[in-house]
């Protein structure tokens, strides 16, 4: 088994554990590269099927290319697609810095979606290498009644035994991509031929490394217009992947506060 094989096998194992343990389960599909890889892995795990809904919390501010992609692949991949609008910014904690406040709309929409579908668990495509607070995560990460994350008291997790017993009211985030890096994702996209939103590929000397809302996501300077060129670029770079995501950089603890409150 090579490196990508073992990453894939581990993610498939995690997805199957989640599917076995939760009757009411959903997967977040942000339309970004990671969540496409995650859907692909679900099809690997369940032999061509995705046996839970693919959920999209729509801020209404995504790039048109993303909406087009969603339409095309919801159908092609036979997804049970569920879209919900995020609440307006006025309903969000005004003490958060502006970009983080904007991002928190998604958290609120997710909380409402979880309540509406009575979900026990949500699968999210976060990775440990993305951002420091995500590095602290567990594969099965319990949340309290209000989706809050207690990073100080996380359950032990070893020998691929995840937390699968809960008090009523607990909700679980499942993270099948936690052990992947950005480069792993691209190498896997290359090997498997996974389709992506075209914004990742360079146009006029710029491309997006990470996709969020139009108003709080910035492209990086790049000539990489194929998966191969992106991989070559990543091997050389030292710029953080989420450097184009404004909400991560407004204050030392902005992202940590977002996550403690239930952000992905």
Partner 1 sequence: MSASQTITDLAPLKLVIVGHVDHGKSTLIGRMLHDTGSLPDGKVEAVKAMSDRRGMPMEWAFVLDALQAERDQGITIDTTQIFFKTPTRPYVIIDAPGHKEFLKNMVSGAASADAAILVVDAKEGVQEQTRRHGYILQLLGLEQVVVAVNKMDLVDHAKGRFDEVAGEVRDYLASMGITPAAILPVSARHGDGLAAKSENMPWFSGPTLIAALDALEPKPLPVELPLRFPVQDVYKFDERRILAGRIESGKLNVGDTLLFSPSNTRAKVQSIEAWSVNGPVLSAAAGQSIGITLDDQLFVERGHVASHESEPPVQTNVFRARIFWLGRAPLEVGRRYKLKLATLEHPVEVQAIERVIDVSDLSERPADRIERNEVGEVVLRARAMLSVDEFTANPRLGRFVLIDGYDMAGGGLISMEGFHDLRRANAPTSQNITAVETRVTTDARWTANGHRSGVLWLTGLSGAGKSTLALELEQALFRKGWQVYVLDGDNIRFGLSADLGFAPKDREENIRRVGEVAALFARAGVLVITAFISPYRSDRDRARAVAPDLFHEVYVNAGLAVCEERDPKGLYKKARSGEILEFTGISAPYEAPDNAEVEIDTGALPLPQSVEQLLSYVEANFSTKGS
Contact residues toward partner 1 (CB under 8 A) are 1-3, 5-6, 8-10, 12-13, 16-17, 19-20, 40, 43-49, 51, 128-129, 132-133, 135-136, 138, 151-152, 154-159, 161, 163, 165-167, 170, 179, 181, 183, 187, 192, 232, 235, 238-240, 252-253, 256
CB of 252 to partner 1, least distance (A): 6
CA distance 109 to 61: 14
User: Which residue lies nearer to partner 1 by CB, 2 or 64?
Assistant: 2
What angle (nearest 5°) sits at the alpha carbon of residue 29, between those of residues 25 and 34?
Answer: 115
Other Cβ atoms less than 10 A from the Cβ of 99: the count is 20
CB of 174 to partner 1, least distance (A): 15
User: Which residue lies nearer to partner 1 by CB, 64 or 159?
Assistant: 159
> CB within 8 A of 40, min separation 6: which ones?
192, 194
User: Which residue lies nearer to partner 1 by CB, 57 or 79?
Assistant: 79
User: Which residue lies nearer to partner 1 by CB, 40 or 200?
Assistant: 40
- Does residue 141 contact residue 173 with C-beta atoms inside 8 Å? yes
> CB within 8 A of 145, min separation 6: which ones?
169, 171
CB of 247 to partner 1, least distance (A): 16
CB of 37 to partner 1, least distance (A): 13
User: Which residue lies nearer to partner 1 by CB, 40 or 73?
Assistant: 40
- Does residue 181 contact residue 164 with C-beta atoms inside 8 Å? no
CB of 232 to partner 1, least distance (A): 7
Residues β-bridged to residue 26: 122
Helix (H), strand (E) at residue 85: strand 81-85
Helix locations, 145-253, DSSP H: 182-192, 227-236
CB of 192 to partner 1, least distance (A): 7
User: Which residue lies nearer to partner 1 by CB, 74 or 170?
Assistant: 170
């Amino acid at each position: 088994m090579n490196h990508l094989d073992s990453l894939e096998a581990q993610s498939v194992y995690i997805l199957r554990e989640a599917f076995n343990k939760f009757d009411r389960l959903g997967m977040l599909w942000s339309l970004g590269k990671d969540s496409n890889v995650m859907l692909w892995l679900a099809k690997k795990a369940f032999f061509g099927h995705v046996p839970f809904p693919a959920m999209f919390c729509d801020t209404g501010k995504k790039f048109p290319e993303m909406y087009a992609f969603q339409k095309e692949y919801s159908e092609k991949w036979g997804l049970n697609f569920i879209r919900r609008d995020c609440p307006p910014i006025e309903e969000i904690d005004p003490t958060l810095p502006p970009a983080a406040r904007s991002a928190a709309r998604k958290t609120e929409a997710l909380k409402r979606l979880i309540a509406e579908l009575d979900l026990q668990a949500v699968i999210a495509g976060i990775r440990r290498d993305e951002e420091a607070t995500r590095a602290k995560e567990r594969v099965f990460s319990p949340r309290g009644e209000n989706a809050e994350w207690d990073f100080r008291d996380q359950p032990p997790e070893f020998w691929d035994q995840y937390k699968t017993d809960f008090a009523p009211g607990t909700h679980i985030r499942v993270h099948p991509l936690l052990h992947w890096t950005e480069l792993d994702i691209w190498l896997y996209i290359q090997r498997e031929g996974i389709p992506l939103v075209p914004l990742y590929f360079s146009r006029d000397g710029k491309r997006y490394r990470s996709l969020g809302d139009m108003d709080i996501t910035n492209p990086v300077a790049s000539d990489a217009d194929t998966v191969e060129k992106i991989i070559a670029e990543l091997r050389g770079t030292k710029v953080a992947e989420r450097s184009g995501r404004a909400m991560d950089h407004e204050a030392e603890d902005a992202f940590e506060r977002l996550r403690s409150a239930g952000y992905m």
